[in-house]
A = this chain, B = another copy of it.
Amino acid sequence: MLYFLSDYTEGCHPKVMAALAETNLESQPGYGEDRWCRAAADALRALCGETDVYFLTGGTQANLVVISALLRRHEAVIAAETGHIAVHEAGAVEFTGHKVITLPSRGGKLDAGELEAYLQGFYADATHAHMPCPGMVYLSQPTELGTLYTKAELRGLYETCRRWELPLFLDGARLGYGLKSPSCDMTLRDVAALTDVFTLGGTKVGALCGEAVCFRPGVTPRGFLTMTKQQGAMLAKGRLLGVQFDALLRDGLYWEISRRAVGLALALKAAFVEKGYPLYADSPTNQQFVILTAAQKERLEKEAAFSVWERLPDGRFAVRFVTSWATQPEDVDALKALL
């Protein structure tokens, strides 16, 4: 079976596994106070400048902990209607007491003009004290559809947020696959400069688990460590996250994994396009969305694992093929041969 189901269907990159094995017997303090967490945080700072780094286990967890830490009691987070927090996180943000206000999705993205218009409209409404108060903005890069914000788009959103004094949070669960796309015009340093807090995802980019949360200094909520404990998000053996991120960031492994997987995904995309398969979304990253007829889907399913994204009204299927560090070029070739 050719496996394109997702980027979390194998374990970790072999170099990450090697790092875990090598450091396994070292005695280190718990709760993220070990030397590997410090080293990984330093490596992150070397890449993007001064930042407060915390390591959490998963993407939904990072989102709910960060959002509920930054919002005040009566505030809501703004997201695109396709945003992960608005769809596939089981109401995690609401469980912490906050509404997710959704704006239209433009290919998975928020539009700075629409955000500005929403905020002006909100405060122009005489009844706004009876409505949840916008308290921060959430976006994902790449988006849930694999698409990318340009640097200008991100700057536009960031400047809007500055004007309205709203923290901007970038969910980078697949940030490597975004930054290493040939279509991307921004760096990690840009991300750090144009957001108030962002995550750099490990789980989908070669780690067993782990997301780095990076706060702009001054934005970090007082008591954040206690909040992570309070939400069950603090690992006793925090080293598990530190060792992995250290291995990923040392010698650029994180970027090498990302670049390679994006290359394989784009080769696959080119093959789909060449064979006349329509695209569901035009993604320059490691997730590819194409439209299959029922017959095509049935035929491909016999040889390849991929996921159904949506059943279209006309009976066809939007499906997703994902590459990762574990994807082999031969598998891509084999899939191409089936098209």
The segment out of A10-18, A251-259, A275-283, A290-298 that lies at the interface is: A10-18
In contact, A234 and B91 (Cβ under 8 angstroms): no
Determine the residue in chain B with the shortest Cβ distance to A18.
Answer: B21
The segment out of A42-50, A130-138, A155-163 that lies at the interface is: A130-138
In contact, A90 and B132 (Cβ under 8 angstroms): yes
Give bound CA distance, A52 to B209, whole Å: 24
In contact, A233 and B61 (Cβ under 8 angstroms): yes
In contact, B29 and A11 (Cβ under 8 angstroms): no
Give bound CA distance, A225 to B131, whole Å: 11
In the assembled complex, how far is the CB of residue A240 from the closest CB belonging to chain B, in whole angstroms? Answer: 5
- Say whether A267 faces chain B, with CB atoms less than 8 Å apart: no
In contact, B17 and A30 (Cβ under 8 angstroms): no
- Say whether A25 faces chain B, with CB atoms less than 8 Å apart: yes
Q: How many copies does the complex hold?
A: 4
In contact, A308 and B126 (Cβ under 8 angstroms): yes
A interface size (C-beta, 8 A) = 85
- Say whether A315 faces chain B, with CB atoms less than 8 Å apart: no
In the assembled complex, how far is the CB of residue A24 from the closest CB belonging to chain B, in whole angstroms? Answer: 4
Which A residues between 292 and 307 are near B, CB-CB below 8 angstroms? 305, 307
In contact, B231 and A232 (Cβ under 8 angstroms): yes
In contact, B88 and A227 (Cβ under 8 angstroms): no
The segment out of A92-100, A103-111, A182-190, A191-199 that lies at the interface is: A92-100
Besides A10-B26, A73-B227, A90-B230, 11 more A-B contacts (Cβ < 8 Å) are A9-B30, A11-B239, A64-B232, A73-B230, A74-B90, A76-B94, A89-B130, A89-B229, A90-B229, A95-B230, A231-B231
Q: Which 10 A-B pairs have the closest CB atoms?
A: A61-B232, A91-B132, A11-B24, A90-B229, A90-B230, A8-B236, A94-B99, A3-B27, A91-B99, A74-B226
